[in-house]
Structure 1
Amino acid sequence: MQLVVARIGRAHGIKGEVTVEVRTDEPELRLGPGARLTTDPAANGPLTIETGRVHSGRLLLRFEGVRDRTAAEALRNTLLIADVDPAELPEDPEEFYDHQLIDLDVLLADGTEIGRITEISHLPSQDLFIVERPDGSEVMIPFVEEIVTEIDLEEQRAVITPPPGLIDDSQAVIVSSRDEEASEPGNDA
């Protein structure tokens, strides 16, 4: 299985280093010296990482055979792709690889079907599930513990407890009316 682990940015300096936008939770594993990565576009690779370092909060890499700024600039916007064994799991049991989450069914805690995860969007502040609804529309669900309460890989499902309005406007009304009922005097629900 192949995973996009980074995108090459601007050249840095004159000796062939490039900035990279990291797209993996395990950069030390996937982007370390000696790692051989395929590329998109394929004509730019494969590339083998010679050195890596952090400078001003950004990861800088130098690849074997890339010795000057011109060669580094030619790689800009190239995606770096690692080959990963599909059976490999992250060390932390609370972490998941994208390929484990794609195609999971997304359900509310009461079993109501929301849709299927078709993509994971990695943003600086948090990751988002892109979920395709049965009607073909999409909804974005933040992959945070307060909303995604359970990931069950055996059952191929993600259980969510969305805040009002996240799924759709009618959900906001349903949740609001439940909250009002629960807060009525004499209702111990």
Structure 2
Amino acid sequence: MTAGAEGQKASGTDPQALPDSAERLRVARIGKPHGIRGEVTAQLFTDEPEARLAPGAVLIRIPGDETSDRTTTLLTVTRQRWNKSVCLLDFREVTDRNGAEALRGSTLYVEAPWQEDPEEEGWYSHELVGFTCLDTAGLQLGTLKELITGAAQDLLVITSVSGEEVMVPFVEEIVPEVDVENRRILLDPPAGLF
């Protein structure tokens, strides 16, 4: 299971912040306002938007570099809908276009669910960061920097042993194995990719 997430730890004395032991999963980034009643577009980082961004979901908002409202807050989703292929969100705390514009560029997180069954298959993308990437002969190709969740397919961003960033489609033919226990990703890349 990839949730298109990125681990974050809460800190500080903000009463709305999660405890230091809680882990956050990145689910979306707030885009431009849509209309005049506070609705916003959202760039998704999750493969489960209907569940993670459903009405009633409480999201942790971390301001981006260009966000005018620089405070970390909680936002409660009141409505999620689609305009063609664009996800639109309404929040209880945002009632007009100015409020929506002030949040532009913020990243939205959810508290990471605790995985009860260690045998359960799957992972969150942030858990793969730092994994060693090997070819089928066992030669090290690099280290996973990031997993980018896309609409058509996911991409692995790998820092190669030479220091270059290489984007690899996360498909079974090229990535036949993810060994979570040993923190390794086996790759069978086409010639010339690395």
Normalising by the residue count of structure 1, what TM-score does the alignment of the two structures yield? 0.77
Give the deviation of 1:135 after TM superposition.
Answer: 4.3
Q: Which whole-Å deviations, capped at 9, do the CAs of 1:10-53 have from their partners, x for residues lacking one?
A: 11112111111111011122111111111121615221111111
1:4 aligns with 2:32: no
> 1:167-178 maps to which residues of 2 (within 5 A)?
167=194
1:58 aligns with 2:86: yes
Tell whether the 8 Å contact from 1:44 to 1:78 is kept in structure 2 after alignment.
no
Tell whether the 8 Å contact from 2:126 to 2:147 is kept in structure 1 after alignment.
no
CA distance in 1, matches of 2:170, 2:62: 27
Q: Which has the higher helix share?
A: 1
What letter corresponds to residue 53 of structure 2 in structure 1?
L
Identity fraction in percent: 43
Give the aligned partner of residue 158 of structure 1: 185
Normalising by the residue count of structure 2, what TM-score does the alignment of the two structures yield? 0.76
What letter corresponds to residue 145 of structure 2 in structure 1?
T
CA distance in 1, matches of 2:37, 2:82: 16
What letter corresponds to residue 107 of structure 1 in structure 2?
L
Equivalent of residue 60 in structure 2, options 35, 38, 41: 38
Give the aligned partner of residue 98 of structure 1: 125
Query: Alignment RMSD, CA only?
Result: 2.1
Name which one, 1 or 2, has greater alpha-carbon Rg: 1
1:74 aligns with 2:102: yes
CA distance in 2, matches of 1:161, 1:7: 32
CA distance in 1, matches of 2:160, 2:149: 20
Give the aligned partner of residue 185 of structure 1: none
Tell whether the 8 Å contact from 2:33 to 2:41 is kept in structure 1 after alignment.
yes
CA distance in 2, matches of 1:156, 1:21: 29
Aligned length: 164
Tell whether the 8 Å contact from 1:109 to 1:159 is kept in structure 2 after alignment.
yes
Give the deviation of 1:86 after TM superposition.
Answer: 5.5
Farther off after superposition, 55-64 or 128-137:
128-137
Structure 2 residues not aligned, in runs of 5+ = 1-22, 64-69
**Secondary structure in structure 1 of the residue aligned to 2:171:** coil
Structure 1 residues not aligned, in runs of 5+ = 168-189
